[in-house]
Amino acid sequence: MIPRNPRLAALKAGYLFPEIAKRRREFAAAHPEDPRRPETRIISLGVGNTTEPILPCITEGLAEGAGKLGTAEGYSGYQDEGLPELRKRIADVFYRGAFSIDEIFISDGAKCDIGRLQLLFGPGTPAVIQDPSYPVYVDGSVLIGAAGAWAGTGYTGICYLPCTAENNYFPDLSLVPENALIYFCSPNNPTGAVASREQLGTLVNIARQRGCIIVFDAAYSEYIRNPALPKTIYEIPGAGECAIEVNSFSKPAGFTGVRLGWTVVPKELRYEGGESINTDWSRIASTIFNGASNIAQAGGLAALSEEGLKEIRRYCDFYLRNAALIRGALQKRGISCVGGDNSPYIWAHFPGRDSWDIFTEILEKCRLVSTPGSGFGPSGQSFIRFSAFGRLSDVEEACRRLSAFRMTTN
């Protein structure tokens, strides 16, 4: 018999979002919805899953992409690193042409690439992770066998950087060890905090001084409305030497089910021994990935056309309005919260309470699914994340219920 990979045993029992779905199912089974009483309907502001239809110009691009596959002239097969036109367009739209197309790799989404990227560094590389943060950075690091000695964090090999109200959700970077892989997400999931240019400048400086590489997750960059805030790590001088960036069409264009993203691996990025990380990423990508769907890529090209970019803006504006409604409803109840202005997540604080207890109370009293903050890391304890991804009528109803919500006080 073959033994189980011991790293699987080191993972937390279940991935956060399926656990939430399970609790919702159990609650729904015990308290069935009554179609005559709309107040009994369960509303989800839990997982960050898009709900709005894809807008017309982008949908047309997807349909055209599918149509082409049915013609001799338009047919295409494997695409490996992605359509050159799409890579060029990404370089132009998001990076002002600062990268060549062989520094832009098309993926089937940011999550998939975050998992694959860890193969570049292998076991033994310390992982530095904002706490709280998107659980994939931790789980992926545990799977690859990130090693080190940060006693007391609960995870060997992972150095947590607490992001709390006290530090305005930007971590103390003096804690970053040497030669580590730093995961950094801005706008942050779950806090909604967006790092300023100065803060990202400090991050890049620390990474360069300490021989670290940053994996910058910009999946929510299109939600940034404040023009002073950087949308990509490459707005910071020197980032090309120390940062990889992942991004996605999921949240700006509604491609959570279509699946399309990209990763930037600059050619100037090097390992300790001087070898090219770009060459290795190309090797890994072509070895264990056969490219994103060509239909999705046609949709991606349409999304980056002039009209498509206007649709992206409208699409994100819609969820940002939801975010403002949710934030307003929580604040009216005196619940302190951040996020939701340049991000689709609202991070609400319930001092002294356990996250899963608040989750359960909100589910029971408001029939509203949220995400317990502790699922994003130890510093998420006593917080709840509300996602702005929802139909407007659901968000309005959720806000009505939250307005009437009387929390148990300890």
Provide the binding-site residues for ligand PGU, judged by CB under 6 A. 17, 47-48, 109-111, 134, 185, 189, 217, 219, 248, 250, 256, 261
Whether the CB-CB separation of 235 and 197 falls below 8 Å is answered with yes
Q: Which long-range contacts (CB under 8 A, 24 or more apart) does 8-13 make?
A: 8/143, 10/142, 10/155, 11/139, 11/142, 11/143, 12/139
- The least distance separating ligand PGU from the CB of residue 111, rounded to whole angstroms, comes to 3
Give the H or E element holding residue 387. strand 383-387
Cβ closer to ligand PGU: 17 or 318?
Answer: 17
Cβ closer to ligand PGU: 20 or 269?
Answer: 20
- The least distance separating ligand PGU from the CB of residue 218, rounded to whole angstroms, comes to 9
Cβ closer to ligand PGU: 125 or 371?
Answer: 371
Bridge partner residues of 369 (DSSP): 44
Position 12: which residue type?
K
First and final C-alpha spacing in the chain: 51
Cβ closer to ligand PGU: 249 or 350?
Answer: 249
Bridge partner residues of 32 (DSSP): none
- The least distance separating ligand PGU from the CB of residue 264, rounded to whole angstroms, comes to 14
* Rounded Cα–Cα distance for residues 110 and 284 (Å): 16
Cβ closer to ligand PGU: 126 or 261?
Answer: 261
How many CB atoms within 10 Å of residue 17? 15
- 243 φ/ψ angles, rounded to the nearest 5 degrees: -140, 140
Tokens of 113: 């690439």
Cβ closer to ligand PGU: 148 or 363?
Answer: 363
- 105 φ/ψ angles, rounded to the nearest 5 degrees: -115, 125
Q: Any alpha helices (H) in 79-165, and if so which ranges?
A: 84-95, 110-117, 136-144
- The least distance separating ligand PGU from the CB of residue 283, rounded to whole angstroms, comes to 22
**C-alpha torsion sign, points 91, 95, 96, 100:** negative
- The least distance separating ligand PGU from the CB of residue 213, rounded to whole angstroms, comes to 18
- The least distance separating ligand PGU from the CB of residue 276, rounded to whole angstroms, comes to 25
| Residue 176 DSSP label | P
Tokens of 246: 């992942």
Cβ closer to ligand PGU: 147 or 284?
Answer: 284
- The least distance separating ligand PGU from the CB of residue 115, rounded to whole angstroms, comes to 9
- The least distance separating ligand PGU from the CB of residue 138, rounded to whole angstroms, comes to 12
Cβ closer to ligand PGU: 81 or 148?
Answer: 81
Whether the CB-CB separation of 323 and 337 falls below 8 Å is answered with no
Cβ closer to ligand PGU: 261 or 266?
Answer: 261
- The least distance separating ligand PGU from the CB of residue 18, rounded to whole angstroms, comes to 9
Tokens of 319: 């969820």
Whether the CB-CB separation of 195 and 186 falls below 8 Å is answered with yes
